Structure 1
Amino acid sequence: MKNPWVIICLITIILFGGAFWYSKVVDNKNNEGVEIVQNIKGNVEARVRLVEYSDFQCPSCASFQPIMDQIFEEFSNDVNLEYKHFPLYIHQYARQASVAAEAAGQQGKFFEFHDMLFERQVEWSSARTPDTLFVQYASELELDIPKFKRHMKSSVLRDKVNTEFEEGRQAGVTGTPTLFLNGEIMKYDSYQSLIEQVAFAVNPESKATSGSEETKTGVSDVKFGL
């Protein structure tokens, strides 16, 4: 009679091998059609480049978005913005939200999904299963839902989010939102200061006073880096 321990070991190897093979098949399916793209809006040829490291579950980041909208309204032809993920560990669902936004981006709707996440931050961040809401948002944007669901589980997109987080840490990002202007980290303590710096970068001869007053932003200043 054969040693039972040998048989048990063989069965264990077969089971683990089968599980590993199946997980690879599923992972390949979830990554099918995924392309790594930069999330950039604005004039791609503009000489003024903004990079925003942000967290979809960060309240300050949500408050910050109307100011970014104003910047693009005023300087749409002269500025471009690249969004990079910096999901803070204190925010339970921030990474899930980032991957969901990337999944929407695979269908050309990153910034539309980005806007919905910030507009409805309170809703999904307090939900027990935010992925259900993410699918609802994707449906409202008329995305291919089976594809969106697969890509929400994509290891390639998850790795992209993690890579951008590490890039941010290496660049000196410690909180959100953090902005870089033409490769230099921006220092500002008010929305007015931020808009003036962008305006000056667009036109160094300008005193950057037009449209920069707090009363014209429609939003009062908040503390940054939360």
Structure 2
Amino acid sequence: MKSNWNVFVAVCVGAVAGFAIRDQMAKSSSLGSPLRNPQQAVAAPSAAPPGSDQIYKVTLGDAPQKGRAEAKVTIVEWSDFQCPFCGRVIDTLHQIERNYGSDVRFVFKHNPLPMHPDAPYAAKAAIAAEKQGKFWQMHDKLFEANNSRQPDALKQDKVDAMARDIGLDMERYQRDLNAPETAQAIRDDQAQAAKLGASGTPHFFIDGARVSGAMPYESFKAVIEAQLRRANAALASGVQKKDLYEHLIKDGQSGPPAPPPQAAPPPQARNVDPGDGPWTGAKKPKVTIVEWSDFQCPYCSRVEPTLKQILETYKDDVRIVWRNEPLGFHPNAMPAAKAAMAAFKQGNDKFWKMHALMFAHQNELSEAKYEEWAKQVGLNLAQWKKDKESPEIAALIAKDNSYAQQVGAEGTPSFFVNGKFISGAMPFETFKGAIDEQIRKADELLKKGTKQEK
């Protein structure tokens, strides 16, 4: 139980662990039961948190700001209005604001996490409020609701009521909230976060120095004091106040250093039936990769470029087979799986087109979007709707889920490379080691006269 719990906590505070785990997490994911990281329960020392000595080049763009543009310290935060840790850190940020006054400004960027179903709408509402000059009023209302720990506090009707309470023009609010550029602004913030390695929430850059998670005031203070010293030294050297932030980050890194290649995991060969589901890649493969995945799982989305690289590198030798494992704590995962498998009923290529749209727009998963994408893919809409709600599709997904437990694929994404288990969104090098080994074995068998199966 402890290991599953810690993985969920890590996602919310920014320590990304590789793949999403099920079971206990499903029982404890509501806002009514605040998650607690055992490491955070202990009073943190006043020393700066690890990693804060490295400066990153964090551009501000058009993000909402609070404080003077010429402040000595700029705190850029990536946050999620439904994340309990983002709510918890609000008091710390207020303390910083009180103690440092005009020396500090705050910049807010959006990163609604996929496991928080109400977060995307809240983020859009905040942007719509920003269009009317009331971002911070809406920000405060949303986090008051977050910290109330009421499970329905951020439902759409409650969020809309907040918009009315702060005096927004509701017709303009709805128009701005649903505008394509609003969703794009969120995706742009998330893309910048991913580039910087800010993979969880809350995540901060203080004059470019990273602070990950809802750290105590003393940890923030240590970083702020160090950055004040940098700022004062720059000003003393002749840097103009209006140019200070750009000067402080100009030599910063654009992203975290690439992790060293990981060796292939120890052999855990299992006899895994690929089934008759969606597949892509080689028609006569030497290596079959069976993947259990979830359309709302952030790690499943993260591994997609790696799978594309595998298919491009081994186009004549590797086939990837999809099997469904929609996790219980992802509310959009099961409806998405049904929509995708209903597309599969109309052709393997239709499934993969739907698959691509779902992962490309993972933060927008909804019944309205599934229908929009079904039209875009060119499905027979009436048949697709019928299949989507059919017992047959539900049974196919249930069968995949049940078989996942049987072979030990207990989280997503899980892979079997000719039966060899790889767990999580591992880098290309990890897959490459396993694939190359299986191709060598296949070549040896072919030389001995073994016939290649179709």
What residue is the counterpart of 1:85 in the other structure? 110
> Distance between the aligned counterparts of 1:105 and 1:92, measured in 2?
22
Q: State whether structure 2 residue 83 is matched by structure 1 residue 58.
A: yes
SS in 1 for 2:102: coil
SS in 1 for 2:172: helix
Displacement after TM superposition at 1:102 (Å): 0.3
> Distance between the aligned counterparts of 1:128 and 1:134, measured in 2?
8
After TM superposition, the structure 1 = structure 2 runs for residues 58-207 of structure 1, keeping only pairs within 5 Å, are 58-121=83-146, 126-127=151-152, 130-186=155-211, 189-203=215-229
CA 181–123 in structure 1, closer or farther in 2 if over 3 Å, else same? closer
Number of equivalences: 171
Displacement after TM superposition at 1:55 (Å): 0.6
Contact 1:42 1:72 in 2 (8 A): no
Displacement after TM superposition at 1:53 (Å): 0.6
Displacement after TM superposition at 1:123 (Å): 6.4
What residue is the counterpart of 2:63 in the other structure? 38
> Distance between the aligned counterparts of 2:124 and 2:205, measured in 1?
22
> Distance between the aligned counterparts of 1:65 and 1:128, measured in 2?
17
> Distance between the aligned counterparts of 2:216 and 2:149, measured in 1?
28
CA 80–122 in structure 1, closer or farther in 2 if over 3 Å, else same? closer
Contact 1:124 1:130 in 2 (8 A): no
Displacement after TM superposition at 1:124 (Å): 9.2
CA 124–161 in structure 1, closer or farther in 2 if over 3 Å, else same? farther
CA 161–133 in structure 1, closer or farther in 2 if over 3 Å, else same? same
Displacement after TM superposition at 1:197 (Å): 1.8
CA 202–116 in structure 1, closer or farther in 2 if over 3 Å, else same? same
Larger Rg: 2
> Distance between the aligned counterparts of 1:51 and 1:62, measured in 2?
16
> Distance between the aligned counterparts of 2:175 and 2:129, measured in 1?
11
Contact 1:124 1:133 in 2 (8 A): no
Calculate the TM-score normalised by the size of structure 2.
0.35
Residue by residue, what CA displacement relative to the aligned partner does 1:104-137 show, whole Å, maximum 9, x if unpaired? 0000110110011011126697339822112210
Percent identity over the alignment is 30
What residue is the counterpart of 2:427 in the other structure? none
Contact 1:100 1:134 in 2 (8 A): yes
Displacement after TM superposition at 1:200 (Å): 3.4
> Distance between the aligned counterparts of 1:125 and 1:149, measured in 2?
24
Displacement after TM superposition at 1:187 (Å): 5.5
> Distance between the aligned counterparts of 1:180 and 1:155, measured in 2?
28
Bigger relative CO (Cα 8 Å, ≥ 6 apart):
1
> Distance between the aligned counterparts of 1:64 and 1:128, measured in 2?
18
> Distance between the aligned counterparts of 1:148 and 1:41, measured in 2?
21
What residue is the counterpart of 2:73 in the other structure? 48
Contact 2:92 2:216 in 1 (8 A): no
After TM superposition, the structure 1 = structure 2 runs for residues 14-29 of structure 1, keeping only pairs within 5 Å, are none
Displacement after TM superposition at 1:153 (Å): 0.7
Q: Which runs of 4+ in 1 moved over 4 A?
A: 122-125
CA 57–49 in structure 1, closer or farther in 2 if over 3 Å, else same? same
Q: CA RMSD in A?
A: 2.5
Contact 1:86 1:165 in 2 (8 A): yes
Contact 2:202 2:212 in 1 (8 A): no
SS in 2 for 1:185: strand
Contact 1:43 1:76 in 2 (8 A): no
What residue is the counterpart of 1:220 in the other structure? none
Contact 1:102 1:157 in 2 (8 A): yes
> Distance between the aligned counterparts of 1:195 and 1:37, measured in 2?
26
Which is further off, 133-142 or 194-203?
194-203
User: What is the one-letter code of the residue matched to 1:97?
Assistant: A
> Distance between the aligned counterparts of 1:203 and 1:145, measured in 2?
45
SS in 2 for 1:76: helix
Which is further off, 92-101 or 186-195?
186-195
> Distance between the aligned counterparts of 1:177 and 1:195, measured in 2?
17
User: What is the one-letter code of the residue matched to 2:128?
Assistant: A
Calculate the TM-score normalised by the size of structure 1.
0.69
